[in-house]
Amino acid sequence: MPNVTAQGQTFECETGANLRRVLLDNDIALYNGSANLINCRGIGSCGTCAVMIEGEVSAANWKDRGRRSLPPHTPERPLRLACQTTVLGDITVTKYDQFWGQGQTLVW
């Protein structure tokens, strides 16, 4: 079972688990500010669950690539949408500031 490290915690999940669900199930503060209330609940349309990931995850699907190609995101930055990402191995997840997580300041 893969290890996920996020917000100073490390926990296990099933291989193939949805990253958004894994983070929320482990009480990780995935959303910045009011994005906690105003988000698409995992369908890949809002972009507020954007995170930086190191480790083995699924390739970005069309929803992930499409949403991150629109402002305020940029396709050049290697963020991923947690709701559209499958955990395949050990990973470390990092969250940045601003509403959509597109900022440059580390939150966790």
7-28 pLDDT, tens per residue?
A: 999 999 999 999 999 999 999 9
CB atoms within 10 A of CB 70: 11
Task: Kindly list the structural domains of the chain, giving each domain's residue range(s) and its CATH number in brackets, ordered by start.
Answer: 3-94 (3.10.20.30)
Secondary structure letter of residue 96 according to DSSP: B
Give residue 96's pLDDT. 98
Residue range 41-70: mean pLDDT, rounded: 97
At 51 the pLDDT is 98
Note the pTM of the prediction, 2 decimals: 0.96
| 57 strand-pairing partners | 87
Q: How far apart are CA 86 and CA 21, in angstroms?
A: 10
DSSP 69: T
pLDDT of residue 41: 97
The identity of residue 67, as a single letter, is: R
